[in-house]
């Protein structure tokens, strides 16, 4: 079955070999220039990288257990030649192609969020490569990435990703991501972001693209006064009031009763930046924003296809992140496009075809391709005979 036919005109069965071919076809677009004069086979590198991703292993763990791969030092030497700028543009073009395959031209809502990968090492070249985040596993350092995710129950694709440096404003990363979003084949109906985007520049840049909803950070006397209420209502909030950066935006204040949820009672007051959404009630804005909780599942599955590494090179680490998102999207495409059963009201997704199964199938195919070692030399000594004697006493 050809790669194109597998997706647009599938045969009666889908095999692990088909998934391996589809995944390698994606990775073939990633530039790996290599070291001059090495004469490496880029296919072997991509197969090694793919198995490390689906098996959540390091490159060394794969090369140590396969006969058909290069050594881990050689493989990583080639991966270190991947150009960072070309990598980001190439992979985001692939995201756009994946979105065009199954999303269609209709307007879509996009959720934005930061993905933090905690990190214990030192910077590769500059301290600004690393960001600060909530402490976990003994570190507050991380490599950070900004991702855009389409809000769609059956086809929740990641459509844009960019790395974030610790020495740049978040709004710069937002600008890069929105540039990638602008290249998508559909219109953006709205942007849902978390409170990490709650700063004037980011809000302005998001608002210039589409309607925006994001929760506010509770601070300042003005915000406290806005939240001192027992009813939901619309109001206006002024950020940086009286300064050159002054920004005004609609604020949706929502009041609900906790009704014993998580052992809590009484009123719960939340507020949302809601640009170009004033045709809705505050409660409708809150209901729209709460749909972005689906992004947590997307990021959890992405982490299940991320190769492990201890390298300090941010480009190689970015490569592993990109591969994990591409594989997750490929699973979504195959699940909906090839395996879901057509029916009235939308295709019925196959419950059995979990992301875990998708990874296992590719891993199984690569075991043959890379000649997985299923035997190991013994010590020819075994357990000393004295150990097997029972104590007669």
Torsion angle of the four alpha carbons 235, 240, 246, 247, in this order, in degrees rounded to the nearest 10 = -40
User: What is the secondary structure of 109-170 as a DSSP string?
Assistant: EEEEEEEEEE--S--SS-GGG-EEEEEETTEEEEEEEEEEEE--SS---EEEEEEE-TTS-H
pLDDT grade, residue 261 (50/70/90)? low
Return the pLDDT at 266: 75
pLDDT grade, residue 4 (50/70/90)? low
pLDDT grade, residue 60 (50/70/90)? very high
Report pLDDT digits (tens) over 239-252: 988 888 899 999 99
Q: Is the pTM of this model over 0.75?
A: yes
Report pLDDT digits (tens) over 266-321: 788 999 999 999 999 999 999 999 988 877 777 788 899 999 999 999 999 999 99
Is the predicted pLDDT of residue 391 greater than 60, yes or no? no
Return the pLDDT at 2: 47
CA distances from 356 to 55, 81, 102, 260 (A): 10, 31, 22, 36
CA distances from 341 to 2, 113, 141, 352 (A): 22, 32, 45, 13
For the chain, give the mean pLDDT: 91
Average pLDDT of the segment spanning 369-387: 90
Q: Say if residues 98 and 91 touch (Cβ distance below 8 Å).
A: no
């Amino acid at each position: 079955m050809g790669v194109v036919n597998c997706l647009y005109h599938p045969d009666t069965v889908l095999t692990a070999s088909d998934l391996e071919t589809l995944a390698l076809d994606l990775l073939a677009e990633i530039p790996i220039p290599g070291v001059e004069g090495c004469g490496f086979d880029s296919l072997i590198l991509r197969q090694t990288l793919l198995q490390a991703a689906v098996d959540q292993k390091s490159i060394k763990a794969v090369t140590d257990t396969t006969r058909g791969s290069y050594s881990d030092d050689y493989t990583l030497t080639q991966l270190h030649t991947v150009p960072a700028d070309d990598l980001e543009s190439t992979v985001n073009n692939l995201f756009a192609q994946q979105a065009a395959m199954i999303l269609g031209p209709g307007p879509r809502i996009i959720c934005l969020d930061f993905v933090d990968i905690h990190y214990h090492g030192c910077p590769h070249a500059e301290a600004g490569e690393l960001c600060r985040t909530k402490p976990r596993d003994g570190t507050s350092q991380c490599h950070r990435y900004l991702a855009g995710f389409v809000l769609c129950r059956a086809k929740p694709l990641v459509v844009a990703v960019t790395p974030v440096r610790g020495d740049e404003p978040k709004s710069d990363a937002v600008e890069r991501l929105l540039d990638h979003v602008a290249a998508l084949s559909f219109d953006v109906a709205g942007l849902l972001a978390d409170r990490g985007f709650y700063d004037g520049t980011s809000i302005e840049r998001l608002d210039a693209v589409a309607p925006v909803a994001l929760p506010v950070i509770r601070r300042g006397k003005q915000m406290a006064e806005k939240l001192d209420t027992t009813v939901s209502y619309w109001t206006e909030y002024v950020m940086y009031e009286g300064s050159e950066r002054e920004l005004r935006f609609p604020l949706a204040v929502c009041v609900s009763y906790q009704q014993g949820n998580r052992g809590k009672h009484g009123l719960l007051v939340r507020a949302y930046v809601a640009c170009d959404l004033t045709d809705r009630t505050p409660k409708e804005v809150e209901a729209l924003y709460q749909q972005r909780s689906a992004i947590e599942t997307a990021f959890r599955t992405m982490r299940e296809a991320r190769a492990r590494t201890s390298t300090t090179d941010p480009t190689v680490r970015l490569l592993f992140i990109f591969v994990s998102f591409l594989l997750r999207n490929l699973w979504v495409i195959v699940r909906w496009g090839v395996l879901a059963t057509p029916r009235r009201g939308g295709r019925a997704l196959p419950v059995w075809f979990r992301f875990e199964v998708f990874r296992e199938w590719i891993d199984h195919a690569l075991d043959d391709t890379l000649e997985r070692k299923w035997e190991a030399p013994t010590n020819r000594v075994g357990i000393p005979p004295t150990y097997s004697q029972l104590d007669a006493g």
